[in-house]
Amino acid sequence: MSRGDFILELGVEEIPATYFGPAITFMKDRIHRDLKAAGLTYDRVMVWGGPRRLAMGLWGLLLKQPDIEEEITGPPLSAAFDANGLPTKAAVGFAKGQNVPVGDLITLNTAKGPYLAVKKSVKGRSAAEILSELIPAVLESLPFPKVMRWGDGTHQFVRPVHWLLAVLKGEILPLSFAGLKSGKVSYGHRFLHPGPVVITTPDEYPVRLAETHVLVDFEARRETVKKELTRVVAETNSDLKITQDEALIDEVANLLEEPCAVLGHFDSQFLELPLAVASTAMKEHQRYFPITDGQGRQAPYFIAVNNTRTKDMTVVQKGHERVLRARLDDARFYYLEDRKVRLADRGEMLKEVVFHNLMGTSWDKVQRFKALAAVISADSCPELREIIARAADLCKNDLVTGVVGEFPSLQGIMGREYALADGELAEVAEAIREHYLPVRSGGELPASMAGAVLSVADKLDTIVGCFSVGLLPTGAADPLALRRQALGIILIMLDRSWDWSLETYIDKAIVNLGTWAKRPAKEVKAETLDFFKVRLKSHILSLGVSSDGAEAVLNLYGDNPLATVGRATALEALKKRDGFRDLAQTFKRVVNIIKKFGPKENLVKGELLSQEAEKNLAAAVTVLEDQSKQYLSRSDFSGLLDQIATLRGPVDAFFDQVLVDDPDPDIKHARVALLNRTSRLFELVADFSRVSTI
């Protein structure tokens, strides 16, 4: 069947840099899904995104749906004709609804018996017709965090729409979006080539736009940014180095259409600022790249990446230098003002800072998680009790400093700087910085024990507090990043090999809330534990553990991340071995017997177990009960599972040779109790009844 290529481009005002990735990924996936549902295949697809455009190309698109024959089932044959063989109202109505004579109806044998049916030939629709409906719907549903209206129109999109290019097999595909009709025209760089450019195929799309100073491919722009940074540093003929920041490179690449870098300079007086302050002023506010010298110290230089290459780049350079000087002047002023007040003397100011109107001030929060940290440290590192208490007293005080007010991302970082400047212990200062970690998925974890304890206490107080006042995260909103904070706690516990239950500390966090808590403690505890289990399951799945394997362990040990992850990975390894299916089935048989007769006490009178098979099982269970303590003490779950697997033979022999439901109630009791002991050994690792054996 005939095929052709398709190119689509939507031209808009500059889109925020962070919006591109999710938008073009969604567009690609949605187009693929909808075309597949429509029966339109294609050879390949590409999506492009830039500050002023979103685009997609399809190669080898089927230009018409295949014709199909379909059978439409009607009423049962028994209800279609009366005793005289005449069609009933059901048959007549069905034929009329399908626009065919009753005589054209056929009998179709189904699993439910014979039914009336009709065979119809459905002509395939053209790809042009389908795309004209599909494309506007896809564009309307792009997942932008915010949309806007413009002019007098009622249309909504992430930014005002200026042009729409849609061409199928060299011809304009007639469609409309946001009040615009499609054409063959795109536009180049806003300043270097603002005029129209005609594009008719996806092959020529990136080539023609590159001629107009627009790189539509993100990876191409990203590589250009990196090459420009390297070029500028190389031209200095010095040992200057770029501060590596892949996230900033990505952001800058999505802000520009044709990157061009220039080196700037600032006054050496600003080098007295902490490195983090100067770097943040450059990166977050101006998207500049800081420069360091050969010793890793801040150098009085920066690199700005521009969207336009001018004849005289020194004019551009001086403009960037003026802008940055203003930012650094502000930062220097705030830093010097902050140094006039010791960090320790700012604690009372937190009473004026509202953490949340339902959970009090930042001072209230500090008192809560300081108490929680004391409990955690008593269990994990009692020797650090004073360090952790001091760090807790200081860790939020930088929230009321001028630098953090101007650069919020420096909270914790400036607390560390000010603490060191005030002569606080290095361990205290580092814990102040680390208690915010991790700040993003996959981010840095606290390197010190004190920082880890404080981080867990702070995050757990936030999570439990929100659940206690009804601020639960939803599928669309998690304003306090509770999911990220819960995962952060889990990762810290795993990193520190903390083998303890969250339940104890959740209880303490609920008590610490006092009158701030508005919901029953029992509900809050249950919901908080379930919340952690969902995050923990996601982490376990990311390690390659199957869903049923994760559930089997979470069902028993979900309140202890270390115990859960160790058991889940060991179980997954066992699942891949020969014989596991039979082992799981054996355990499920044990569980079913216990459910049938009810769990019994583990105490077994030896004289009641007289048959060889039950005596052998009892002996094997007794040995493994003793051995299991050693395996658990060193968290050797793989070794424990290997030993548990040896029970399969004795258990199978028991079921083959022993009648559990003995007429003597004492003997039956003893046999069920033996199976109960056996079950407990399996449950030292997982709930095998939840493991799939398919």
Averaged pLDDT, 1-22: 92
The CA R_g of the chain, rounded to the nearest whole Å, is 34
Do 146 and 245 fall into the same domain?
Answer: no
Instruction: Select from 150, 183, 211 the last residue of a domain.
Output: 211
pLDDT band for 111, please (50, 70, 90 cuts): confident
Same domain, 8 and 148: yes
Q: Are strands 260-265 and 298-306 parallel, antiparallel or unpaired?
A: antiparallel
Task: Please give the pLDDT value at position 605.
Answer: 57
Mean per-residue pLDDT, 569-579: 88
Residue 47, strand partner residues: 56
> What is the count of structural domains for the chain?
5
Express each pLDDT in 497-513 by its tens digit.
Answer: 999 999 999 999 999 99
pLDDT band at residue 589, thresholds of 50, 70 and 90? confident
The residue among 434, 435, 481, 483 whose CA lies nearest residue 455 is 435
For residues 37 and 83, state if they share a domain.
no
Q: Domain for residue 558, yes or no?
A: no
Q: Band the pLDDT of 586: cuts 50, 70, 90.
A: confident
Q: Is the Cα torsion angle 606, 612, 614, 620 positive or negative in sign? A: positive
Helix axis angle for 385-394 and 449-469, nearest 10°, is 60
One domain for residues 145 and 177: yes
Distance of CA 339 to the CA centre of its chain: 39
Do residues 487 and 427 share a domain?
yes
Q: Which two tokens stand for residue 613?
A: 């098979």
Q: pLDDT per residue over 465-506, tens digit each?
A: 999 999 988 876 788 899 999 999 999 999 999 999 999 999
569 assigned to some structural domain: no
Q: What integer is the mean pLDDT of 303-314?
A: 90
Helix (H, G, I), strand (E, B) or coil at 185: strand
| Packed helices 521-542 and 449-469: angle between N→C axes, nearest 10 degrees | 130
Is 551 within the bounds of a domain? no
d(CA 391, CA 393): 5
Per-residue DSSP letter, 663: S
Residue 555 placed within a domain: no
Return d(Cα 273, Cα 332) in angstroms, integer. Answer: 7
Average pLDDT, the chain: 91
The encoded tokens of residue 106 equal 């056929």
Is the same domain home to 333 and 353? no
| CB count in 10 Å sphere of residue 291 | 24
Cα separation of 574 and 580, whole Å?
A: 7
CATH of the domain at 165: 3.30.70
Helix (H) or strand (E) holding 262: strand 260-265
pLDDT at 345 over 80: yes
The single-letter DSSP state of residue 559 is T
Q: Which of 299, 315, 338 is the last residue of a domain?
A: 338
Asked if residue 136 belongs to a domain, the reply is yes
DSSP 526: H
Q: Read off the pLDDT band of 432 (50, 70, 90).
A: very high
Helix 385-394, helix 362-380: angle, nearest 10: 160
- 134 and 40 part of one domain: yes
Same domain, yes or no: 52 and 141? yes
The answer to whether residue 568 is domain-embedded is no
Range of the domain at 502: 344-542
Domain boundary among 497, 518, 542: 542
At residue 114, the 3 state secondary structure works out as strand
> Quick check: 139 and 175 in contact, CB under 8 A?
no
Are 456 and 374 within 8 A, CB to CB? no
Is the pTM higher than 0.75? The answer reads yes
Same domain, 452 and 365: yes
The DSSP code for 72 is E
